[in-house]
Amino acid sequence: MSILITGGAGYIGSHTLVELANANYDFIVYDNLSNSSSESLNRVEKIIGKSITFINGDIRDTAKLKEVFGNHSIDSVIHFAGLKAVGQSVEQPLEYYDNNVVGTLRLLEVMSEFGCKKIVFSSSATVYTDPDKLNIQHSKLNIKEYSPLREDSPVGGTTNPYGTSKYMIERILEDLYISDNSFKIAILRYFNPVGAHKSGTIGEDPNGIPNNLMPFISQVAVGKREYLSVFGSDYDTHDGTGVRDYIHVVDLAYGHVKAIDYLNNHENIKPLVVNLGTGTGYSVIDVVKAFEKASGKKVPYKLVDRRAGDIAKCFADPSYAKELLGWVAKRSLDEMCEDSWRWQSNNPDGYEVK
Ligand code: NAD
Ligand code: UD1
């Protein structure tokens, strides 16, 4: 029996393949390479010492999915495939809803048809209601207590089509379970994945100018960009810059192994909703300092205005993942920076071929 890994050539998917192989799971990768390169799979093959079955396909292509389910014994799906750039989602909402929401519907329909009823879904901390909206909707809640976020914190007040697509998919999965209790569903809400595999051969390879902090810092350190713009220095945080819950991608990847183990070992379970974070928040300046230490390079920065839509603090309460799955994030911020740097300095242009 195999696990179908949609989006398995991407950043988190490729790292999860390594952890699944370490845990002796068999898998098949299904990806349309819209935001990745098959080179990541060649590199994973070298790490795990095994060849990977890869199908170049789109999750919206029902005929192709049926062919895959018809030709292989697939008993579960880890569903990473999706578009994830927040800014782009504001400009291209229809493309995001089509790719993420319609794509997931097509996948779930084919899974149902073939009796494959186990799915782990990549959700995001972005589904938690924006505290500004929370202030309006729940005036009795204290914004300062917004983080740590628990799985039962308010959700759905999303601020962009990307976040809304994740929230919609969570609701679709919950409704699917209500209609068919034999579905086993794990919704994993990721915080801020960073870092790379220890080998320095796989990692995050963003297109164009990175939107996220760690890839941007890495590109400054390697000399591809002049300086980092620090978005906001007047937040109510220990040094005025934004605080986030950065989690090593290998810890995150292992969380998927634990989720699949759980689904395999339990019957009659309601959909699980689990935060995958460390529970510790670091500021932008904390990350810059840690990166300078790890790389031995200077990371010049300028303090600029806040980025629209950003919040001061966002970090997880990860206690449910520990209680339910026996999972905790183990790797420190220093290790996240060392591993990001190894990947970036060994591969200044990422996988190059896209
Ligand atoms: P990524 O872009 O590196 O990987 C996504 C993969 O899905 C890519 O390989 C892409 O080619 C593929 N894909 C996209 N649309 C597809 C389609 N229609 N059919 C087939 N394949 C398709 O992104 P990632 O960082 O590895 O993220 C994986 C998942 O985790 C995404 O769903 C993302 O929204 C979610 N997530 C990511 C983060 C993050 O910060 N990286 C945070 C929270 C949630
Ligand atoms: C972003 C996404 C969010 C996604 C999350 C996970 C946005 C608005 N949100 O959130 O949907 O779930 O990533 O990866 O893109 N920063 C700088 N300079 C930069 C880049 C970032 O100062 O050049 C700061 C930001 O203001 C923030 C922190 O660094 O305080 C982290 O930013 P980023 O990596 O973009 O992640 P999030 O904002 O948490």
Percent of the chain whose predicted confidence (pLDDT) is above 90:
90
Per-residue model confidence (pLDDT) at position 134: 59
Active site residue 162: yes
In this predicted structure, the answer to whether residue 288 has a pLDDT above a threshold of 80 is yes
- Catalytic-role residue among 162, 254, 262, 282: 162
314 contacts 281 by C-beta, under 8 angstroms: yes
Q: Which of 119-123, 141-145, 152-156, 285-289 has the lowest mean pLDDT?
A: 141-145
Is there a contact between 46 and 2 (Cβ–Cβ < 8 Å)? Answer: no
pLDDT digits (tens, 9 = 90+) for 189-210: 999 999 999 999 999 998 889 9
On average, the pLDDT of the chain sits at 94
- What are the start-end ranges of the H helices in 140-283? 161-179, 213-221, 249-265
Give mean pLDDT, residues 243-251.
Answer: 98
Per-residue pLDDT, averaged over 326-332, amounts to 98
User: Ligand 2: residues whose CB is within 6 Å?
Assistant: 86, 124-126, 163, 192, 211-213, 216, 228-231, 242, 244, 284, 307, 309-310, 314
C-alpha of residue 142 to centroid of ligand 1, in Å: 33
Give the ligand at the shortest distance from the Cα of 83: 1
Report the 10 Å Cβ neighbour count for 313: 21
Quote the pLDDT of residue 160: 93
Please determine, for residue 150, whether its predicted confidence score (pLDDT) is greater than 60: yes
Res 133: pLDDT: 64
Q: How far is CA 241 from the centre of its chain?
A: 23
> What is the DSSP pairing of strand 243-244 with strand 282-283?
antiparallel
pLDDT band at 354 (very low <50, low <70, confident <90, very high): very low
Cα(19) to ligand 1 centroid in Å equals 17
Percent of the chain predicted with pLDDT > 70 = 95
Q: Between the CA of residue 302 and those of 136, 226, 241, what are the distances in Å? A: 33, 10, 12
Q: Name every residue whose Cβ is closer than 8 Å to that of residue 218 and which is 6 or more positions away in sequence.
A: 291, 340, 341, 343, 344
The average pLDDT across 240-262 equals 98
Atom of ligand 2 nearest to the CA of 241: 30
Closest listed ligand to the CA of 124:
1
Atom of ligand 2 nearest to the CA of 287: 29
pLDDT tens readout for residues 116-149 = 999 999 999 999 987 766 554 454 555 445 789 9
Name the closest ligand to CA 166: 1
State yes or no: pLDDT of 86 exceeds 70.
Answer: yes
Q: Of 211-215, 307-311, 344-348, where does mean pLDDT reach its minimum?
A: 307-311
In 3D space, the residue among 95, 258, 215 whose CA is nearest the CA of residue 161 turns out to be 95
Atom of ligand 2 nearest to the CA of 311: 30
Say if residues 92 and 154 touch (Cβ distance below 8 Å): no
**C-alpha of residue 67 to centroid of ligand 2, in Å:** 38
> pLDDT per residue over 2-58, tens digit each?
999 999 999 999 999 999 999 999 999 999 999 999 999 999 999 999 999 999 999
State in Å: Cα 82 to ligand 1 middle.
Answer: 4
The per-residue pLDDT for 141 is 52
CA of 191 to the centre of ligand 2 (A): 10
**Residue range 88-111, pLDDT digits in tens:** 999 999 999 999 999 999 999 999
User: Which residues surround ligand 1 with Cβ inside 6 Å?
Assistant: 6-7, 9-13, 31-36, 58-60, 80-84, 99, 103, 122, 124, 190, 193
Average pLDDT, stretch 289-304?
Answer: 98
Which residue out of 4, 36, 80 has the highest number of ligand 1 atoms within 8 Å of its CB and is therefore the one to mutate?
A: 80
